[in-house]
Structure 1
């Protein structure tokens, strides 16, 4: 096991163990929201990642940066964890740690992140009834017990679905479901149907 993977596993599971001691739906939701927002910003703004990975900057400067920009927006648990990574000089592994932590956490509580792609149109209305039918069918077919290294959250009995909406002009109509945590795509977009029909006609 290389050092990157070893450090990532150690800190991701350590954070999960801390969370296990005091978890309910409310702080779980806040935690996941904070981590998703922070991870998105961290991964899309290369200057932030470069700052944390640069050994020229002292630990106190990195911790001060976290406090100035995230001290009032992130939960205390996340802030303490980020400060710990700074103190132990493991902040350079932050991206892989957060990615693994979120994956393990979501599986532990039987949660799914589903990105709904819809057309960019003011007149478009999502077929909620069809969406619910598709999701219900999918969960019935794919539901399974998940147990990861003795991490157990008994307060979560039913699957949790976290939705995000993404507008895609090329879709024309219909919608597409991306199960981010399962690497699964269910496509009901009109653009895909047109492509399928075109391929048949060209055959």
Structure 2
């Protein structure tokens, strides 16, 4: 199944359904927090994701594990949603559905997601400077940063917003200098 087909046929309808429940109950932000919590669980434990995707594990076992891990933290509506995903054998798409919900939430809040890769951890002042740069690039009202560290950059940052890329890293600058020197020779 192609990535776009999975997105349009599976992820979007479930994320839209969750958003619909959230909006009708004025829980959009709460569900956003719950989805972030679920994604952090999946990030912390690849075994959990493997367990949920395993077709040999019965549905009740999956529901019990999800309830044990999340019932104290997430809203009961979201827990019921997870149960529906298990019952419909769509729980293996949990990460994608959660990311799609976050995307819908960003659209609703007129927020853009900026992937920021830096050589070292950015401090609050640097993050704010990146936010301002992204606002200038996109005209968005709000900016959400997804930061990663890549020591191979040597210094600086790479900012990706959709298809736009700003490479302000030392590695990128050295590469551009090398290209200019090669074309001048």
C-alpha distance in structure 1 between counterparts of 2:142 and 2:124, whole Å: 24
C-alpha distance in structure 1 between counterparts of 2:85 and 2:121, whole Å: 44
SS in 1 for 2:155: coil
Who is 1:131 aligned against?
130
Distance verdict in 2 for CA 1:50–1:92, change over 3 Å: same
Of 148, 157, 160, which aligns to 1:166?
148
Who is 1:153 aligned against?
none
- Tell me the TM-score normalised to structure 1 length: 0.70
Shift of 1:113: 2.1
Shift of 1:121: 7.4
Write out aligned runs for 1:73-152 (5 A): 73-120=73-120, 127=126, 130-140=129-139, 143=140
Who is 1:149 aligned against?
none
Who is 1:192 aligned against?
172
- Tell me the TM-score normalised to structure 2 length: 0.75
* CA deviation profile, 1:126-154 (whole Å, cap 9, x unmatched): 646753542231133xx5xxxxxxxxxxx
Does the Cα contact within 8 Å between 2:32 and 2:105 map onto a contact in 1? no
| Structure with more contact order per residue of length (Cα contacts < 8 Å, sep ≥ 6) | 1
Write out aligned runs for 1:50-65 (5 A): 50-65=50-65
Q: Does 1:17 align with 2:24?
A: no
C-alpha distance in structure 1 between counterparts of 2:92 and 2:124, whole Å: 43
C-alpha distance in structure 2 between counterparts of 1:51 and 1:128, whole Å: 36
Moved more, 88-97 or 22-31: 22-31
Distance verdict in 2 for CA 1:103–1:41, change over 3 Å: farther
SS in 1 for 2:156: coil
Distance verdict in 2 for CA 1:59–1:25, change over 3 Å: closer
The alignment of Structure 1 onto Structure 2 pairs a total of residues equal to: 180
